[in-house]
């Protein structure tokens, strides 16, 4: 396996991360098991019933510095798509109030997402390669279609559609890599989805259907797209909170056939009538020796994720009355994998830095139908 082929593999993996990870600050999916719960106990007011975002809390007690636990993470299969675990560590200063989403039905909104990936890669005894990919940008339309009530409050049915996908000209890369990125990214345009979002930001009944120009490889990534929708909305605490409040969201995140354990800590810095701002700190950890989904690899190639850990930090703006908020996040991950080919095994290590920005945007201007493109 030549170094250029490894770069090709990383290009595909980076696209998968972009589709799968969305905003790394807003964690979805599965609750942490009681055995994984942190050990120290804050005051009684913080031992909340929000451990599962819209269900009663498990009996485990919260902690001030929760960390992922590789020994308890599940490597064999992706976790079930259940509610995240939310624990309040500090309710913050008075005045406090409950944070709940209240979307307006029938008002379309647009979200613009940028992601830039920088990869340092070494393979076996060969020198390290440094690759900075051009920024990948998506424009997503979202619209609340229907709001209903249930035992846990209101839920809103939301529709999504990827209307534009651009590869920016902010970085010079080989023409072959740019062509591959543009080709892969083109299949995202026209992707449509639906989800039910609870008042506390928990997504369920998430489904996607590919656009007419979707490639086979992109169609195989729809499960990750379902997970990405769960990241758009930050899971909110059950309890009333005020400025200075801290809560932690724990998840198990399936990506490319492997399982990552994710812990996101929120610290509320601003609180207004319809929005809140928060600092976020993220920790990621994967149990060792997990097979990577072969559908996302070049033909004739399989791979094993030997290890993965990472950290991130940034800021988010949670718009409580809008479908679209904003985030600026940087994450850094260290990954080791073994790539298996007919000619033998290659051991690849990577250090990836991902800069992610999302913001409200205007809808696309009228003109030719949107498609993936290279733009300034």
Provide the residue-wise pLDDT of the chain in tens; the chain has 376 residues: 344 444 444 444 544 443 334 333 333 333 333 333 333 333 433 344 454 555 433 333 333 334 444 333 333 333 444 568 999 999 999 999 999 999 999 999 999 999 999 999 998 878 788 889 999 999 999 999 999 987 777 889 999 998 998 999 999 988 888 888 888 777 788 888 898 999 998 888 888 776 665 555 555 556 556 656 666 788 999 999 999 999 999 988 777 778 888 899 999 999 999 999 999 999 999 999 999 877 667 788 899 999 999 999 999 999 999 999 999 999 999 999 999 988 899 999 999 999 999 999 988 765 444 444 555 5
What are the Cα distances from residue 144, in Å, to 106, 206, 365?
Answer: 6, 14, 21
Question: Quick one: which H or E segment has residue 178?
Answer: helix 175-186
Q: Find residue 141's DSSP bridge partners.
A: 110, 161
> Which pLDDT score is estimated for 230?
64
C-alpha 113/C-alpha 127 separation (Å) is 33
**Domain membership of residue 368 as a residue range:** 3-375
Indicate the number of domains in the chain: 1
Query: What contacts 331, CB < 8 A, 6 or more positions away?
Result: 24, 282, 284, 310, 311, 312, 353, 354, 356
> Which pLDDT score is estimated for 374?
54
C-alpha 203/C-alpha 205 separation (Å) is 7
C-alpha 92/C-alpha 146 separation (Å) is 33
């Amino acid at each position: 396996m030549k170094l250029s082929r490894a770069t090709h593999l990383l290009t595909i993996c980076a696209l998968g991360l972009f589709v799968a990870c969305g905003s790394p600050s807003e964690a979805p999916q599965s609750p942490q098991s009681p055995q994984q719960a942190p050990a120290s106990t804050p005051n009684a007011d913080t031992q909340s019933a929000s451990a599962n975002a819209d269900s009663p809390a498990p009996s485990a007690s919260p902690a001030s510095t929760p960390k992922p636990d590789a020994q308890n993470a599940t490597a064999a299969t992706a976790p079930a798509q259940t509610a995240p675990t939310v624990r309040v560590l500090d309710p913050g200063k008075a005045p406090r109030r409950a944070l709940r989403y209240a979307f307006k039905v029938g008002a379309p909104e647009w979200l613009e997402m940028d992601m830039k990936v920088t990869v340092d890669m070494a393979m076996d005894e060969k020198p390290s390669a440094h690759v900075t990919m051009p920024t990948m940008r998506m424009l997503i339309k979202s619209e609340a279609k229907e709001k209903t009530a249930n035992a846990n409050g209101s839920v809103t049915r939301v529709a999504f559609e990827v209307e534009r996908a651009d590869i920016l000209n902010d970085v010079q890369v080989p023409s072959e890599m740019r062509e591959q990125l543009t080709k892969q990214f083109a299949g995202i345009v026209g992707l449509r989805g639906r989800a039910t979002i609870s008042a506390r930001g928990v997504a369920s009944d998430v489904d996607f259907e590919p656009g007419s120009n979707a490639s086979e490889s992109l169609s195989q990534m729809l499960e990750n797209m379902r997970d990405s929708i769960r990241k758009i909305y930050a899971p909110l605490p059950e309890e009333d909170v005020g400025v200075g409040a801290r809560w932690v969201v724990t998840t198990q995140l399936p990506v490319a056939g492997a399982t990552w354990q994710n812990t996101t800590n929120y610290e509320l810095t601003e609180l207004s009538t319809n929005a809140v701002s928060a600092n976020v700190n993220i920790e990621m950890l994967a149990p060792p020796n997990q097979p990577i989904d072969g559908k996302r690899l070049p033909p004739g190639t399989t791979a094993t994720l030997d290890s993965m850990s990472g950290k991130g930090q940034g800021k988010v703006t949670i718009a409580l009355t809008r479908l679209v908020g904003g985030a600026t996040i940087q994450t850094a991950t260290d990954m080791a994998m073994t790539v298996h080919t007919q000619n033998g095994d290659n051991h690849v290590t990577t250090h990836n830095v991902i800069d992610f920005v999302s913001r409200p945007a205007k809808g696309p201007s009228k003109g030719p139908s949107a498609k993936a493109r290279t733009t300034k």
